[in-house]
């Protein structure tokens, strides 16, 4: 039906919006680099990949360096601790699956990585989360691990002093 026809049927004027629920089911092929990463996650390992030109370590790896366009075949196991570079406090509940508000989503730069992972911060009041906070992964029980970064339930403060801004300013 054309827009004109819709207008003709509406005695109160043109239709300016409509409700159209849409659902799309799809599968994504993880590809070689992400498959290796997810197999590592299933074993409790965080495997990044290093660019042979600039030595940047991508986490999670994409299989190539977007700056140099070369494969990143060297694998680097990274520790499950790092630094919060940026974060946001979520105050609006939007899903039954989400934690109770307020909660914090953050970018966590693992030690030795050049790109940050997205994750939840817990184990401290939301208002105390800050840039530079040192955190470590809280893993789900071993028997629940699968090929999913959800194996890490959240990131908790390590108690270490905050990282200097200079240490992560280039990753924000």
Residues of the shown chain interacting with Zn ion in the complex, contacts defined by CB under 5 A: 51, 53-54, 65, 67-68
Minimum Å gap between C-beta 72 and Zn ion is 8
Whole-number Å distance between alpha carbons of 100 and 158: 22
Non-local (6+) Cβ contacts of 107 within 8 A are 84, 85, 86, 87, 116, 117, 118, 171
Q: Determine contact, residues 152/80, Cβ cutoff 8 Å.
A: yes
Angle at 21 between CA 17 and CA 26, to 5 degrees: 135
Please list, in sequence order, all residues whose beta carbon lies within 8 angstroms of the beta carbon of residue 33, skipping any fewer than 6 positions away. Answer: 49, 60, 61, 62, 63, 64, 72
Burial 96-112 (b: 16+ CB within 10 A, else e): eeeeeeebbbbbbbbee
Q: Which residue's CB is nearer to Zn ion, number 37 or number 58?
A: 58
């Amino acid at each position: 039906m054309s827009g004109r026809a819709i207008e003709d049927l509406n005695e109160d004027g043109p239709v300016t919006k409509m409700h159209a629920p849409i659902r799309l089911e799809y599968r994504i092929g993880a590809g070689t680099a992400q498959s290796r990463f997810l197999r590592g996650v299933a074993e409790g390992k965080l495997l990044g990949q290093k660019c042979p030109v600039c030595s940047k370590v991508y986490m999670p790896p994409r299989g190539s360096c977007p700056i140099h366009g070369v494969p990143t075949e060297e694998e680097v196991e990274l520790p499950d601790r790092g630094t919060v570079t940026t974060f946001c406090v979520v105050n609006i509940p939007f899903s039954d699956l989400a934690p109770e508000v307020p909660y914090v989503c953050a970018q966590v730069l693992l030690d030795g990585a050049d790109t940050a992972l997205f994750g939840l911060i817990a184990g401290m009041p939301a208002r105390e989360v800050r840039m530079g906070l040192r955190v470590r992964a809280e893993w789900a029980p071993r028997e629940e691990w699968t090929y999913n970064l959800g194996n890490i339930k959240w990131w908790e403060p390590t108690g270490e002093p905050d990282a200097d801004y200079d240490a992560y300013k280039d990753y924000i």
